[in-house]
Structure 1
């Protein structure tokens, strides 16, 4: 079996969320537990940190991985979805799982897969756990796919549970109020395992407090312990001052340039502090990791600069809170004209997303090559009703080419709206 055949097998045989949306989800942990049992229960053979949240969970996972890599630990990292290659989902010290390991897993476990009939995501999770156990990682950072309580990753018992924030996304699956969504995310909290909440919110605080108390899980609201002050971009690096309630403080540098990333820092700092006895990290190692996240872990698509004169930025923000945070950063950047290349998926509440988009931008509407994509023509029509005007293009690269042709050197081009749109960029 070749790598392409192994991937085709996974995609063709198993329900895949990024192709058919919520219909691909198989609720419950039963399939994942059956897969893990057939693999010798690898999820019980390594130490882990579990990360959930509406936005920022991927970036937080990469930050934690970069810090522990800088401290010399052997670090596994599981995130989803991928942008360019399936192998991006499973990393060891920043390097994607080798293609031959994917092939070997599919070849050897094909009878198990066909007996369980899991989803694509369930198999991917099992593959990641098997890979981390085989390679004896010191610690694995595991990002939740969707929600938390019924997510396939929730079979692990971590040494810390991290919940970055709560916002409106996947409301058809997780609930249409912040407390309901928080309850699903709180499903990753385990008995006696410390839980770190990155951003406190009056509507969700009681949910987390109640669940952690019932499970005797020590809880930390990180944004009450760490105050982060944005100092802007200096020599292409995001600078921030950090202060603690005890009066101590320091400067931090972050190579993830979006100002919204600073909201993730309290949760990262609180997690590292919580685990200092088991996994010591010096202040210098912590700073080194944060300043080199993209280099150490291969994170892409987070306020990533793809060109200059005009400046071109790609960002995977795809829901209302994510886009609000993105445009907070955009407003801090000088430009002549803002040109936005955007494509969305069809199975989300688009009215909230479209309402966040600025009216004073030039739009280029496109769609990704996936069944979940919203028609670019329909997106254009819905946006026009709200005063967002632009032309339709067959794909993101055609749209970007048109924007570049029309742009002045001091314009700003932003590509956003969907992971799948960003993934199809040829120069990412």
Structure 2
């Protein structure tokens, strides 16, 4: 790529245009949906002066656990009285979910102003939808006197648009096999890509209990300050509380949070390295308040318990097995599933097979979405003669699972478990709200 726009020119929205027009425009400004690399993004970043979106920057990468780690960092820092900006992706229902300031989404008008600003700074440089949105998020944060910006990497790390900003602390959560066409087909290659967010003489927090060797090697090569879970910080879970053994301090009798505990410990290790005071009371309050739409999200609807999670790879599914055994106990579990074509759905189904009683497969209508019939052909569902039904949409799959759960003759209603993609969970969340 030369960095110059070579698409057919289209009508450019302005700062009065609706947000949807801008989002449609963003989809046309670059020939590829994904194109990793920092050169084009950096050109626009430098023109716009967005190198430092906040006083301190924490960047979070990883295959699974990024969102919950970001949520812990956000709630604890805000409980400490700091002004915090958060950038995450993708969104579940509304684009506005991607940027929050002190826990609040910004308005359509705010995002439109940011897009209009980036369009001016972009000049002839071609940007993908994600790159454009990332720079717009930096612009929105720059308008605020933020103490901390928490940036979630979209894909990988080394060549992700978020990595154009130098973090004060880099965080890597668990590493699994995902996005192999971009990051490599094994954990060592993927770990090296994730480690690319680290900087010399800067803390690198790794929350993977069995990390790829490539992470430590890269940290050594660039002289990053690595703090590894199990060797630098650790945690111990009790029935009603947990203990954090930190880099320089210990915290005992902490409240058990709703999101994964490993990511809570990882967030606390990052906060230990941040030169801002955070009290034990703020940590406890932040742990209690941390929640994340689409991650271990529990709902009750029309007499049925519903669990929603965006898990879409075997590593995340392994964690969900433990959660389902705890939540469902002896109840049947009805799974509503929709996945993208580039995900290893068979590996996911194989991991979950032992805890799912009935599969309700829905077709994702997005361009990268897989069909229910393709999912149903997975060997993991056929080898063990699973109960499987296929539907044209996620909504119809969910309606059928919900109806079946309501009409169940079991002593306790089955748990309806929705997972497989941000699109899947987003569709069901939208259905429940409407």
Instruction: List gaps (5 residues or longer) in structure 2.
Output: 1-16
2:418 and 2:192 mapped to 1: Cα distance?
33
Q: 1:402 aligns with which of 386, 400, 403?
A: 400
Q: 2:420 aligns with which of 406, 417, 420?
A: 417
Equivalent residue for 1:263?
A: 262
Equivalent residue for 2:142?
A: 133
Q: Is the deviation greater in 332-341 or in 314-323?
A: 332-341
1:162 and 1:243 mapped to 2: Cα distance?
17
Equivalent residue for 1:142?
A: 151
Q: 1:8 aligns with which of 20, 24, 35?
A: 24
Tell me by how many angstroms 1:395 deviates.
1.8
Does structure 2 retain, via aligned residues, the 8 Å contact 1:314–1:416? yes
Does structure 2 retain, via aligned residues, the 8 Å contact 1:335–1:410? no
Equivalent residue for 1:300?
A: 293
Question: Given the two structures, how large is their TM-score scaled by the length of structure 2?
Answer: 0.88
Tell me by how many angstroms 1:110 deviates.
2.8
Equivalent residue for 2:254?
A: 252
Equivalences, count: 404
1:344 aligns with 2:339: yes
1:119-268 correspondence runs (5 A)? 119-201=128-210, 204=212, 206-231=213-238, 239-244=240-245, 248-257=250-259, 261-268=260-267
Give every structure 1 segment of 4 or more consecutive aligned residues whose post-TM-superposition deviation is greater than 6 Å. none
Does structure 2 retain, via aligned residues, the 8 Å contact 1:55–1:164? yes
1:247 and 1:38 mapped to 2: Cα distance?
42
CA 1:110–1:269 in structure 2 vs 1: closer, same or farther (change >3 Å)? closer
Does structure 2 retain, via aligned residues, the 8 Å contact 1:364–1:393? yes
Tell me by how many angstroms 1:165 deviates.
1.6
Tell me by how many angstroms 1:114 deviates.
5.8
For the residue of structure 2 that corresponds to 1:106, the secondary structure is helix
2:118 and 2:351 mapped to 1: Cα distance?
45
Q: 1:365 aligns with which of 361, 364, 376?
A: 361
Equivalent residue for 1:104?
A: 113
Instruction: List gaps (5 residues or longer) in structure 1.
Output: 16-22, 233-238
2:167 and 2:357 mapped to 1: Cα distance?
45
2:402 and 2:353 mapped to 1: Cα distance?
20
The Cα offsets for residues 212-245 of structure 1, whole Å up to 9 and x where unpaired, read as: 222222111133344434445xxxxxx5311427
Q: Is the deviation greater in 304-313 or in 161-170?
A: 304-313
For the residue of structure 2 that corresponds to 1:357, the secondary structure is helix
Equivalent residue for 1:55?
A: 64
Tell me by how many angstroms 1:374 deviates.
0.6
1:317 aligns with 2:311: yes
Does structure 1 retain, via aligned residues, the 8 Å contact 2:76–2:285? yes
**Aligned residues: CA RMSD:** 2.1
Equivalent residue for 1:236?
A: none
1:37 aligns with 2:53: no
CA 1:44–1:83 in structure 2 vs 1: closer, same or farther (change >3 Å)? closer
CA 1:268–1:69 in structure 2 vs 1: closer, same or farther (change >3 Å)? same
CA 1:307–1:27 in structure 2 vs 1: closer, same or farther (change >3 Å)? same
